[in-house]
A and B are shown apart, each in its own frame.
Chain A
Amino acid sequence: MNKPLKHVVAVLLGCFTILFVQLNRIQFYDADALIDNAANTRTIQRKFDVPRGLIVTADGVVAAESLDTPGGVFSRQRNYPQGNLYAHTVGYLSFNFGADGVERTYNDALIGATPGQELSGLTDLLDGEGNPIGNVVLNLDHELQQAAKAQLGERPGSVVALDPVTGAVKAMWSYPSFDPNRLAVNDGSVANEAWTELVEADGNPLRPRAYREIDFPGSTFKVITASAALERGIATMTQPEFEPAAEYVAPLTERPLTNFGGGTCGGNLTELLVVSCNTGFGKLAAELIGPGALSSEAEDFGFNQVPPLDLPDPAASRFPTDYGSLVAGPSEEIPAGVYEDTPLLAQAGIGQYDVQATPLQMALVAAAVSNGGRVPTAHVVDRIEDSVTLEVIDDVGPGAWRQAVDQDTAGQVAQAMVQVVERGSGRAAAVPGVVVGAKTGTAQLGTDPPRSHAWLIAFAGRPDGPPELAVAVLVEGQEGLDQTGGGAAAPIARALFERYFQ
């Protein structure tokens, strides 16, 4: 029986040889492909489970850090000591739900994977230090951010404050917000539960309203309409004078445009801005400026484009550009230069119809007006530092996005906005010893009971100095007619200015 035994031995050893060959295939030849396989959660997990730098505010407050989690699925977990305060800027890092905010846009810097960091890691290879992971230093000011949160309270809305010259975002707060720690927990089922709850919650707390949600800007848009008229020589701050009127009926319609609270107003462009005169601006937009000029002015300020911002997926603000074709004229009823949708243009000129803007965009409008017409590039991050040596690895720095209007026009509009605060609808934004210019907006939503978005865009600086802060405040959908931009939004801006200039 020994001969067949030998055959069995040979077969079995052959079987083991096959195993050895296949083992080599899987562990050696195919290993890279298996590691890159889309279903390989180990790879995803490994990428997730790497050391990660801090995110700190401009004044050194830690907004995001990594805590060691011994014995967990991952060796560390992201912690957000400020709770919901920076949820819409710093964002979150979650294994189940990915990342948002700075955690997403600056992921490479945080884990040391930018080309610069990798190069530096390569040269440091000899001393065995590896890639330097980066700490992200924000432009956001902790005190200003806290003030924005406290001022808005539990009203849905947004507050954006930025440096009009550099575009550095000093505060960006939206309510409702959420606690990113709930999504960052390593326990997937706990994170899942929190996610479901947040997705279903009223007001979508996960959404950063300040830069991803667009709303009717209302009368704050009149700053752009005024700029369009001034820039093209259609009007000056003193000419023409508009007849005082309680309503304006645009050509081709019978529906009148009325003033806020049913008032009567008129006068030159300065007066129209100071009292936020709908009838005057409606006529200016519809009959004097025209669709082409108003559209191109809105786009010069950044409408219909995604603004540059170092946060994920900012929304483009919207200004409708199609008003149909030119209607034959002039005749007795129809003046020259009227388009099929001219009545809508009258509404667009006062920030209604289908005009919609993010609070960030409106803050950029205020910034441009105060800064000689230059729209800055908004950025929440100031610089990346080496987490060990604290040397600056990367400086985000100031940036200009576009020139909206020339310096002259900007100066004139800014002057008028200062008067809005001195004697007009924006008096509640005034701060003693500080030059403040503002424009209010109250976008009625046509609901019953009446609800409206209360807006304020403003800038402020020391006398004879450059503008230092541009602000947009939006208090959304407040009930009651007293919830105007001047009443609900202006005090929030004033509180920020007071905090900033104290």
Chain B
Amino acid sequence: MRARSVELVLLILATFVTVVGFVTIGLVQAEAGDVNFDLRDDVTGFLLVVVGLLLGAHIMIRLFAPLADAMLFPCAALLNGLGYVMISRLDQGLADSQSAWTFMGVAAFCLVLLVLRDPRRLEPYRYTLAVVGVGLLLLPLVPGLGATINGARIWLRVGPFSIQPGEFAKVVLAAFLAGYLVDKRELLTLTGRRIGPLHVPHARHFGPLLLAWGVALMVMTAERDLGSSLLFFTLFVVMFYVATARAAYVFSGLVLFMAGAVLSWRMFSHVQRRVDIWLDPFADAKGSGFQIAEAAFALADGGLTGTGLGQGTPKKIPYAATDMIFAAFGEELGLLGASALLMTFMFFVAAGFRVATNARSPFEKLLAAGFTALIGFQAFIIIAGILRVLPLTGVTLPFVSYGGSSLISNYIILAVLMRISHNSTEQRAEELDEIERSGHSLNVSARARSDWKAVAR
């Protein structure tokens, strides 16, 4: 249970950082006369909510996944908390909805911990998952149901809410891929023919995969959701590589990607525009390049230490609360704060892949790797877009950006990772116990023992 104590300390730190941010913004805005901010009442209220949420989730973890990794949840809590603080600084209306989404996210997290005791139970349902995933992707294209917001038809209007089913589709499709690849990976690696350095598997085994991937990509392209297309493609390549350990797949994946990229660049004017803006956003800084130019200006204003929370002008950045929120952090918290955010993502990703490495079954291993890659690459794709490393494609910054579907699906991912982590630690503990009980302790090397101790802590 040592892991839980570490987690608790980290959670207290995350709470502290979040509340300090909240107080800073409240004081700055109150000084400017924007809002009434009562230091005692408002802070007490906020503190109670944050502590209540995190403590509730922490108790659930202690009850249902006590042996899970200690880093994952505090990282998510910090990202979510800082994100909320920045959103409240940008747009109080969005912040109010975001707090509701956070409640639902944490609730979903607890629910998954409670219900999905053994993720391996998902494995047989892989084809169901594929159908559900593609179905979720297709939903926004259904007339009457779907809605186009900011040029992308990826929304569902349900009453007063807008939902992005694609966010959930990514999770479901990652689970499908994990199940499928575990089932077929030997066939994929061992059968088929060699063509030069390339190993081409049998179409019978490869086909369904390509089909699912193709459908997903086509749907995403039809919905003009370039960011998700890129993310899904990356996910596909990563999971394929982890499952088969064949670099040739990565290579052919890259070739496929290049071909797809060039093709869509030729075919779609909106893709060409993105690329032009990427190459020189300042050529039309007041027009098409506005978003990226404003982000760069915001980051430049931030400099090393930032303008201070509440003291910059991040509202000038288009979509500052959603896609571009990283630039808002760069402005107000500076290079130091933005780097801290990058570090938090790196910690999360490292912890996620550690879960995958230690997972007890191939399915769980692949699932953990896929989920971690989803979070990691999604963060990379949007930050790289803001920083002009890649063309800007709109995806949310996991846990940080405003957006209910994204937040809830990320909390689901988190819960599954925690569950896999707990299960693997538990199993190794049982194995160790069994070995010791049966007296065959001689068979267990000292190395394995110390390994186990490190994990159990």
Which A residues form the contact surface with B (CB < 8 A)?
1-9, 12-13, 15-16, 18-20, 22-24, 26-28, 30-32, 34-35, 37, 39-42, 45, 70-71, 75
CB distance from B185 to the nearest CB of A (A): 9
CB proximity of B105 to chain A, nearest CB, Å: 24
Q: How far is the CB of A364 from chain B (nearest CB, A)?
A: 45
Report which of B244, B299, B369, B384 forms a contact with A5, defined as CB distance below 8 A. B369
Assembled-state Cα–Cα distance A143/B349 (Å): 74
The 6 closest A-B pairs by CB, nearest first: A70-B33, A39-B285, A34-B300, A31-B300, A27-B335, A22-B387
From B245, B339, B356, B376, contact of A12 by CB (8 A): B376
**Contact indicator B300/A26 (Cβ below 8 Å):** yes
Q: Do A41 and B316 touch (CB < 8 A)?
A: yes
Q: Is the CB of A8 within 8 A of B241?
A: yes
Report the Cα distance A1→B362, complex, angstroms: 8
Cross-chain contact of B282 among A5, A18, A37 (Cβ < 8 A): A37
Please, how many angstroms separate the alpha-carbon atoms of A30 and B335 in the complex?
A: 13
Contact for B338 among A23, A30, A32, CB less than 8 A: A23
Alpha-carbon gap, A26 to B334, bound state (A)? 11
- Pair A27/B293 contact, Cβ less than 8 Å: no
Find out whether the CB atom of B313 lies under 8 angstroms from the CB atom of A19: no
For the complex with contacts A23-B330, A23-B387, 10 further pairs of A-B residues with Cβ separation under 8 Å are A5-B365, A22-B389, A23-B338, A27-B335, A27-B338, A28-B304, A30-B300, A37-B297, A39-B293, A70-B34
- Set of chain A residues within 8 Å of B335, measured between Cβ atoms: 23-24, 27-28
Q: Measured between alpha carbons, how far is A28 from B335 in the docked complex, in Å?
A: 8
Contact in complex: A16, B346 (CB < 8 Å): yes
Chain B contacts for A41, CB-based, 8 A: 297, 316
Q: A22-B387, A37-B285, A39-B286 are in contact. Are A27 and B302 (CB under 8 A)?
A: yes
Are A26 and B242 in contact (CB-based, < 8 A)? no
**Residues in chain A near residue B316, CB distance under 8 A:** 41-42
CB distance B356 to A5 under 8 Å?
A: yes
Nearest CB in chain A: distance from B93 CB, A: 15
Contact B380 A19 (CB under 8 A): yes
A23: min CB distance to chain B, Å: 6
User: Interface readout for B52-85 with A: 1 if CB under 8 Å, 0 if not?
Assistant: 0000000000000000000000000000000000
- A-B contacts, 11 listed (Cβ < 8 Å): A4-B245, A5-B365, A8-B353, A8-B369, A15-B380, A19-B384, A19-B387, A22-B387, A27-B299, A41-B316, A75-B32
Q: Which of B256-300 contact A (CB under 8 A)?
A: 282, 285-286, 293, 296-300
Contacts of B33 on A, CB cut-off 8 Å? 70-71
Checking A2, A7, A26 against B357 with a beta-carbon cut-off of 8 angstroms, the contacting residue is A2
State the majority secondary structure of interface residues on B: helix
- The size class of the interface chain B forms with chain A is 35 or more
Query: B22 in the interface, Cβ–Cβ < 8 Å?
Result: no
Contact of A26 among B245, B299, B366, B373 (CB under 8 A): B299
Find out whether the CB atom of A8 lies under 8 angstroms from the CB atom of B238.
yes
Shortest distance from the beta carbon of B239 to any chain A beta carbon, whole Å: 9
Asked if B300 and A35 sit within 8 Å, CB to CB, the answer is yes
With A8-B353, A15-B380, A27-B304 known as contacts, the answer to whether A1 contacts B242 (CB < 8 A) is yes
> Given the complex, which residues of A lie within 8 Å of B383, measured CB to CB?
19
Out of B298, B365, B388, which one reaches A1, CB within 8 Å? B365
Q: Which chain B residues border A12 with CB–CB below 8 Å? A: 349, 373, 376-377, 380
Give the interface SS of chain A, mostly helix, strand, loop or mixed: helix
**Interface pair A18/B285, CB less than 8 Å apart:** no
Contact call A45/B384, Cβ cutoff below 8 A:
no
B351-398 interface (Cβ within 8 A of A): 353, 356-357, 362, 365-366, 369, 373, 376-377, 380, 383-384, 387-389
Contact B313 A20 (CB under 8 A): no
Return the chain A residue nearest B242 by Cβ: A4
Contact, CB under 8 Å: A27 / B286: no
CB-CB contacts of B332-352 with A at 8 A, as 1s and 0s? 001100110010011001100
For A75, give the chain B residue with the smallest CB separation. Answer: B32
Residues of A within 8 A of B338 (CB): 23, 27
| B426: interface (CB < 8 Å) | no
| Contact for A15 among B301, B339, B384, CB less than 8 A | B384
Whether B192 is near chain A, meaning CB under 8 Å from some CB there, is: no
Best-surrounded residue of A3, A4, A37 (most CB of chain B within 10 A): A4
Cα of A1 to Cα of B357 in the assembled complex, Å: 8
**Bound state CA distance, A24 and B366, in angstroms?**
34
Per the bound structure, the CA–CA distance linking A34 and B298 in Å amounts to 9
Q: What is the bound-complex CA distance between A307 and B290, given in angstroms? A: 44
CA distance A15 to B369 in the complex (A): 17
B1-46 residues with Cβ-Cβ distance < 8 A to A are 32-34
Q: How far is the CA of A75 from the CA of B285 in the complex (A)?
A: 25
State how many angstroms separate the Cβ of A281 from the closest Cβ of chain B: 58
Q: Are B350 and A16 in contact (CB under 8 A)?
A: no
Cβ–Cβ contact B241 & A7, under 8 A? yes
The answer to whether B342 touches A8, judged by C-beta atoms less than 8 angstroms apart, is no
Q: How far is the CB of A334 from chain B (nearest CB, A)?
A: 66
Closest to B240 in A: A4
Which residues on A sit within 8 Å (CB–CB) of B346? Answer: 13, 16
Min CB–CB distance A12 → chain B (angstroms):
5
Instruction: Provide the bound-state CA to CA distance between A360 and B200, in Å.
Output: 90
Shortest C-beta distance, A20 to chain B (Å), equals 6
Q: Is the CB of A34 within 8 A of B296?
A: yes
B330 near A28: Cβ-Cβ < 8 Å? no
Residues of A within 8 A of B253 (CB): none
**A1-B285 contact in complex given A19-B389, A37-B297, C-beta closer than 8 Å:** no
**A355 CA / B357 CA spacing, docked (Å):** 93
User: Is B243 among interface residues, defined by CB-CB distance under 8 A?
Assistant: yes
Contact A26 B34 (CB under 8 A): no
Name the residue on B nearest A70 (C-beta): B33
Task: Collect the chain A residues with CB atoms within 8 Å of residue B201's CB.
Answer: none
Please determine whether B242 and A5 come into contact, CB atoms closer than 8 angstroms.
yes
**A residues less than 8 Å from B339 (CB atoms):** 20, 23
A23, B388: Cα distance in complex, Å: 10
- Closest CB-CB distance, B300 to chain A, in whole Å? 4
Are B296 and A26 neighbours in the complex by a CB distance under 8 Å?
A: yes
Within the complex, which residue of B32, B238, B313, B373 is in contact with A70, where a contact is CB–CB below 8 Å? B32
When distances are taken between beta carbons in the complex, the residues of chain B under 8 Å from A24 are 335
CA distance A31 to B384 in the complex (A): 18
Q: A8-B241, A19-B387 are in contact. Are A71 and B380 (CB under 8 A)?
A: no
For B302, what are the chain A residues with a Cβ–Cβ distance below 8 Å?
Answer: 27
Write the chain B residue with the least CB distance to A19: B383
Task: Note all chain A residues with C-beta closer than 8 A to B244.
Answer: 4
Q: How far is the CA of A291 from the CA of B371 in the complex (A)?
A: 93
One of A4, A16, A19 near B241 (C-beta < 8 A): A4
Q: In the assembly, what is the distance between CA of A35 and CA of B303, in Å?
A: 10
A4–B34 CA distance with the chains assembled, in angstroms: 53
B282 near A1: Cβ-Cβ < 8 Å? no
In the assembly, what is the distance between CA of A37 and CA of B293, in Å? 10
- Chain B residue contacts of A7, Cβ below 8 A: 241
Q: Determine the distance from Cα of A30 to Cα of B282 in the docked complex, in whole angstroms.
A: 14
- Chain B hits for A40, CB < 8 A: 293, 297, 300
Task: Tell which of A31, A32, A70, A71 has the most Cβ of chain B within 10 Å.
Answer: A31
Name the CB-closest residue of A to B338: A23
CA distance A387 to B286 in the complex (A): 38
**B342 in contact with A23 (CB, 8 Å):** yes
Nearest CB of A to B243, in Å: 7
Contact residues in B for A13 (Cβ distance below 8 Å): 346, 349-350
Closest to A32 in B: B300
Min Cβ gap A207→B in Å is 29
How far apart sit A3 and B369, CA to CA, in the bound complex (Å)? 12
Checking B297, B330, B342 against A35 with a beta-carbon cut-off of 8 angstroms, the contacting residue is B297
CB pair A1–B299 under 8 Å, yes or no, is no
Compute how far the CA of A501 lies from the CA of B426 in the bound complex, rounded to whole angstroms. 103
**Distance (whole angstroms) from the CB of B109 to the closest CB of chain A:** 23
CB nearest to A18 among chain B residues: B389
**A261 and B373 alpha carbons, distance in the complex (Å):** 97
Q: Quick one: closest B residue to A3, CB to CB?
A: B245
What's the nearest-Cβ distance from chain A to residue B397, in Å? 12
Q: Which residues of A contact B245 (CB under 8 A)?
A: 1, 3-4
CB A286 to nearest CB in B, in angstroms, measures 59
